[in-house]
Structure 1
């Protein structure tokens, strides 16, 4: 399956595109010539990982009939100091809230996402260290 994206320059350091009917604006920090009109490109990598695995986990847990009160995915990253600056490590923290949550099913859902379903995780594992933490709160 082939996919493409058109990113249009809107002046200075700003670009925009439309994805799935939603406008996305990218821009740089004013310290490097941007106007802070949009998000930075590299942090989108964290969002892509959190969104991909988060949606997987929610879908899998629904099929397992696990009811969550709240769910959060945090991605912590480390960026290199030298150019080209890039992430060399990401740590994913899954925080689940609810009553009597089954730890085994939650661990299975996270594992299935990371090992079988999340394409973002699959690519990132080839490029950097990717670690996981699961937190369950009542």
Structure 2
């Protein structure tokens, strides 16, 4: 399938790589299908979560480890079923990045509501109210 986005132009999307948020994202409940995009680099820093339902919507995301943030995630039975979790090793966390409203040159990560992605089932959800731990290595 092909989509045309304002940010990336035309993109060919392999349907087997589509990520589905069964509940949508808070504030964007109409968006269920997304494609994870990255820059052509061996180790991209940020990724983009491009909506396929509304191509005007794209979120910058980052892996928590890149920010020295760790989580201990506890999913409810309902959340595990929604993500079709068979093996916890298939779960990946991503943080949404946002621009500070008061200081538009500053970018912050939403550490209290990570996206949990099951890489095996390609199902995801945003888990609200999480607590993270900052990890500093010497």
TM range (shorter): under 0.3
- TM-score, structure 1 as length reference: 0.25
Structure with the largest fraction of helix: 1
Provide TM-score, normalisation by structure 2. 0.25
**Greater strand percent: which structure?**
2
